[in-house]
Amino acid sequence: MRSLDLKLVRDLWHLRGQAIAIALVLAAATATFVMSLGVHRSLAETRDAYYARNHFGDIFVGMTRAPRSVVDRIAAIPGVRRAEGGIQQYATLNFPRRVVPVRALLNAVEPDGPNHLNQVTLRQGRLPRASDPGEVVADEAFAKANGLAVGSQIEALIYGRKQNLRIVGIGLAPNFIYALAPGDIIPDDERFGVFWIGRKALEAATDRTEAINSLSLTLERGASGSDVIHALDSILAPFGGSGAYGRKDHLSHAFLDNELMQLSAMTRVIPPVFLLVAVFLVYIVLGRMIRTERTQIGLIKAFGYSDWAIGRHYLKFALAIALLATVMGTAAGIWMGDAMTRLYAQYYRFPFLYYRISLSVIVAAAALSFAAAALGAIGGVRSAVRLTPAVAMSPPPPPAYRAGTVERLGKAAGFSAIGHMIVRHIARWPGRAVITVSGVALSGGLLFATTQFIDSSRTMIDSFFFRAQRQDLTVTFTEPRNASALYALAQVPGVLRVEPTRAVSVKLSNGKRIERTAIESLPANSQLGLRIDRHGNAVALPASGLMLSSQLASKLAVRIGDRVDVEMLGGRRTQRSLPVASIVDEFVGARAYSSEQTLESITRDASPVGAALVRIDPSARDSILTRLRDAPMILGVTEKAAALVKFRAMIDDNMLTMIAFYVAFASAIAVGVVYNSARILFSERAHELATLRVLGYFRSEVGLVLLGELGLLVAASLPIGCFVGYGMGQLMTAMFSSDLFRLPFAPSRASYGWSSVIVLIAAMTTALTVARRVQKLDMVRVLKGRE
C-alpha cells in the first residue's frame, strides 16, 4: 500500500467511532431506498408478470343480462384484441355452527380449459368438469382462512336455491388480487371468498342459458381505451350495461396501485433527510480532521505530494465511510424489504411474491451514498488543497476570547464560570452549533412525522367507524326493493332501528372531466349514517342537488353552485344536470351524496332501498345473523365490529412495522449527530478540561462543560424538531393519501412527547458514552501538547 493509503487506514481506525456514526446515518438512507424501491419493483414486476401471464383484462363492464352472441359484436370494435363474456353471481354459504353470514362470488369458467382472459392459476387440484355441476375452485386465501381443502363440501344459496358445492381445486386469478365484498373497505377472508364454477352449471343455477352479465376485453397496442369504452356502452345499453371502465378503475388493481404509489412516495421523502444530515456530518468531521492535521499536510506537500494527491486522500476518507454505509444499508434494506414483502403477501393474492433486489437498485443506493459523502467532503478537500507548506506547518493562531455580548449576557444572567465556557464556545462556532441543532431537529422531525400516523389512523377510525357509521349491521339486498323490506327487517326480534340507503353507479362529467362513481342517499333524519368532515362535524345532505367529496370535486374541477352532468349507469340510464349544493372533506373514497328524493328522480324505479343500516341489541346478535343468513332476498351482511377488527389489524401490521423501522433510523441520526459533536468537542477542549482538573475542578464539573453544551444544543433542537416534523408530517400525509383513503393530519400531544423523548434518550446515551472519556482523561499527556 502507498503511504497515503496507509495513513487513510490509520485515520479510519483512529476515528472509527465517528466514521461508524456517519455510516449509520448513510446506511439508514441506503436501507430505506433499497427497501422501498426494492419492494416497489418486486410488487410492480410481480403484478405485471402475473397480469401478462394470466391475461388480465384492460376494460371491464357488467350488465343485467345479455345474449352471449353480443361478445362477437364487441370483439369487432376497432382496437379490441379479445373479448370474453361470463357470469358473476353472489351466493351465501352455510358453514355448520357458524352464525355469521359468509358470502362468495361465483365466476363462470370453461370446464374444458381455462378462459383466455383473467385465467385461474391452480395451486392444488383441477378445474371443474362439465359433467358435475357442483364442482368449484376456491380462492386460496378463503380456503386457508376457513380450513377448506380439495374435497371439502359447502352448502350454498345461489339465486334463491340451495346447492351443494364440492371443492376440486384451490386457485387464484389476477382480477382478485385484492378481493373485497360489497360494502367492505378491507378484505375479510373468513367471510368473503371467490369461487370458479363451470359455465353451464352457473348458467343453469342462475337461469342465464347462453347469456352473460359480465364482460372483459383486452386492447390492441396503441388503441384508445376511451373510444372502445364509448362503443362498448352503446352496444350494451339495451342490456342494462352498468358502464364500462378501464383497468385503473378496477377495484383490485386500484388498491394495489395505491400501495405502489405510497412506496414511491416513501422513496422520495425519507432518504433525502438522511443524506442531508450525512453531508453535514462529513463536512464537520473532515473539516476538523484537516485542521488537526495541518502540520502533516504541510510536511506531505513539502515531500513533493501534489495538491491532487492530498485532495484525493481526504476524499477517499469520505468515500470509505460511504462504502461501509452501502454494505450495512444494503444488508438492512434487503432484510427489511423481505419482511415487508411477506407482510404484503398476506393482503395481496399473488401466486408468487418474492423480494428480489436488482443490481441497479444497489448501484443507485450506493451512488446516493457516495454522492452525499463526496458533497460533504468538498469543503474540507478544498481547504486541504489550498494550504501551502509554509502556512500548514505553522500552528494555527489560538482563539481570541474577548469580553463581548455573550459574556455580558452571561454575567447579567448569573452564569458560573462553566456556564460562560459553554455559551462562549457555542458563540465562537455558530455554524457547527447550527448543524448540530439542525441534525437533531431533523431526527425529531422524522420521528414525529412517522409516529403521527398512529394519530392519523385513530382519527380516521373514530370518524369513519364510530361517528359516520353508527349502525351495527349493513344488510345488502340482491336488488333494490321498496319500503316493505325495511318493515320486514324491523320485525326481527332484537332489531332496534332500521334505515334505508342506496348507492347508484353514475358517471359525472364537467366538460371533458369525467368520473365514474356512485351517488349514495340516506333519509334526511338519519341517525345511523352521517357524513363527517375532517374536522369532525356532521354535514347534512342537501335537500336538492348533490354533495360531493372534496376529492371528487377537485377531480371534476367544480365548486359549490356549479352544475355537473349525471348519467346513470344501468337501469333507465337517465341523464340529468344537477347543481353542486355542498362539498364535504372526508377520508374514504371519492363519492357523491344526495337526498332520497333527488336519487329517486334519477333512478325512476320506485325502489329506494338498496341496503339497510341496522342497529341491534347485542344480546340478540346470533339469532339475528342466523335469520339474515337464511333470507334469500339478502345478498350479504356486513358487521361493523368485524370490519373494525380487520382494519385495526391491518393498520397495526403495516403501520407499526414501518414506524419501528423509522424510529431506529431517526435514532441513528440523533446518535450520529450527537456522537460526532461530542467527539469534536472533546478533542478540541481536552486541553481546557485537563486544565480545569489541575485547577481543582471535580470530574463531574469538568464533564458538565462537555455535557452542558450538548444538552443546550439538543434542548434548542427539540422545538425546532417539532416545527420541522409538523411540516414533514403534513407533506407525508398528503403524499400517502390517494383516491381510496386520505389520512387526516391530526397529531396529538403524545406524538410530540414521544418523538422528543426518543431523541433525548438517544442523545443522552450517546453523550454519556463520550463523557466517560473525561473520567479517564490523562492530564499529563494532554497538557504536554504544543501551545
507: domain CATH number?
2.40.40
Percentage of residues in the chain having pLDDT higher than 90 = 11
Q: Which residue has the higher pLDDT, 785 or 678?
A: 678
Does residue 259 register a pLDDT over 70? yes
Is the confidence at residue 95, as pLDDT, over 60?
A: yes
Q: What is the pLDDT of residue 412?
A: 64
Q: Look at residues 170, 173, 210, 174 and name the one whose alpha carbon lies nearest to residue 87.
A: 210
Q: At what angle do helices 699-736 and 749-775 cross, to 10 degrees?
A: 150
Mean pLDDT to the nearest integer, 377-405? 68
If asked whether residues 258 and 237 sit together in one domain, one would say no
Q: Are residues 267 and 245 in the same domain?
A: no
Question: Is pLDDT of 784 > 60?
Answer: no
Nearest residue to 184 (alpha-carbon basis) of 639, 600, 504, 619: 639
pLDDT at 637 over 60: yes
Are 229 and 306 within one domain?
no
Which cell is 254 given?
A: 386500484
Mean pLDDT on 52-65: 90
Split at pLDDT 50, 70, 90, the class of 787 is very low
Instruction: For residues 263-268, give the mean pLDDT.
Output: 77
- Does one domain contain both 434 and 328? no
Mean pLDDT of 281-304: 74
Q: Which of 395, 424, 456 is the last residue of a domain?
A: 395
Supply 76's cell numbers: 369487432
Asked, for residue 212, whether it belongs to a domain, the answer is yes
In this structure, are strands 161-172 and 153-158 parallel, antiparallel, or unpaired? Answer: antiparallel
Question: Is position 145 within any domain?
Answer: yes
pLDDT in tens, 771-782: 676 666 555 555
Contacts of 405 (CB under 8 A, 6+ apart): none
Q: What would the grid cell of residue 430 be?
A: 455558530
What average pLDDT does this structure show over 747-755? Answer: 84
Residue 58 is predicted with a pLDDT of 93
* Closest residue by Cα to residue 577 from 593, 562, 566: 566
Are residue 84 and residue 184 in the same domain, yes or no?
A: yes
Residue 539: strand, helix, or coil? strand
| Residue with more model confidence, 785 or 753 | 753
Average pLDDT over residues 245-254: 87
C-alpha closest to that of 754 among 782, 722, 730: 722
Residue 558 lies in a domain: yes
Quick check: is 482 in a domain? Answer: no
C-alpha triplet 275, 280, 281: angle, nearest 5°: 95
| Pairing of β 513-522 and β 592-595 | parallel
| pLDDT tens by residue, 403-430 | 666 566 666 666 667 776 777 767 777 7
- pLDDT, residue 171, reads 92
Q: What is the mean pLDDT of residues 16-29?
A: 81
Does some domain include residue 403? no
Compute the average pLDDT of residues 273-296. 75
Are both 705 and 723 inside the same structural domain?
yes
Q: What is the pLDDT of residue 740?
A: 66
What's the domain range around 273?
1-57+254-395
Contact criterion met (CB below 8 Å) for 184 and 643: yes
Average pLDDT, the chain: 82
Which of 128-137, 247-256, 288-297 comes out lowest in average pLDDT? 288-297
pLDDT of residue 12: 78
Q: Give the pLDDT score at 531.
A: 82
Is the pLDDT confidence value at 574 over 90?
Answer: no
Examine residue 631 and state whether it is found in any structural domain, yes or no.
no
Provide the domain count of the chain: 4
* Domain shared by 213 and 312, yes or no: no
Report whether pLDDT(360) > 60.
yes
Beta strands 495-510 and 153-158 are unpaired
Are residues 200 and 96 part of one domain?
yes
Residue 137 pLDDT > 90, yes or no? yes
Q: Mean pLDDT over residues 84-101, rounded?
A: 86
179: Cβ contacts below 8 Å, ≥ 6 apart: 105, 139, 141, 187, 192, 193, 194, 252, 349
Q: Does residue 600 fall inside a structural domain?
A: yes
pLDDT at 774: 62
Domain end marker among 253, 276, 307: 253
Cα dihedral across residues 447, 452, 453, 458: positive or negative:
positive
Residue 38 has pLDDT above 50, yes or no: yes
Look at the block and give the residue holding cell 480532521.
289
Q: Which of the residue ranges 109-113, 754-758, 764-768 would you say has the lowest mean pLDDT?
A: 109-113
- The verdict on 139 and 243 lying in the same domain is yes
User: Closest by alpha carbon to 115, among 59, 26, 70, 175?
Assistant: 175
Beta-carbon count within 10 A of 533 CB: 17
Is 73 found in the same domain as 45? no
pLDDT at 724: 86
Res. 435 pLDDT band, cuts 50 70 90 = confident
Question: pLDDT-derived band of residue 391, with 50, 70 and 90 as boundaries?
Answer: low
For residues 778 and 769, give the distance between their C-alpha atoms in angstroms, rounded to a whole number. 17
Residue 170 has pLDDT above 90, yes or no: yes
Same domain, 22 and 140: no
Q: Are 203 and 74 in contact (CB under 8 A)?
A: no
**Which of 196, 229, 253 lies at the terminal end of a domain, its last residue?**
253
At 564 the pLDDT is 92
423 and 517 assigned to the same domain: no
Share of the chain above pLDDT 70, in %: 89
pLDDT (mean) for 648-675: 75
Are 773 and 620 in contact by the 8 Å Cβ rule? The answer is no
Q: Within 10 A of 72 (CB to CB), how many other CB atoms are there?
A: 10
452-466 tens-digit pLDDT: 888 888 887 888 788
Please check whether residue 29 lies inside any domain of the structure. yes
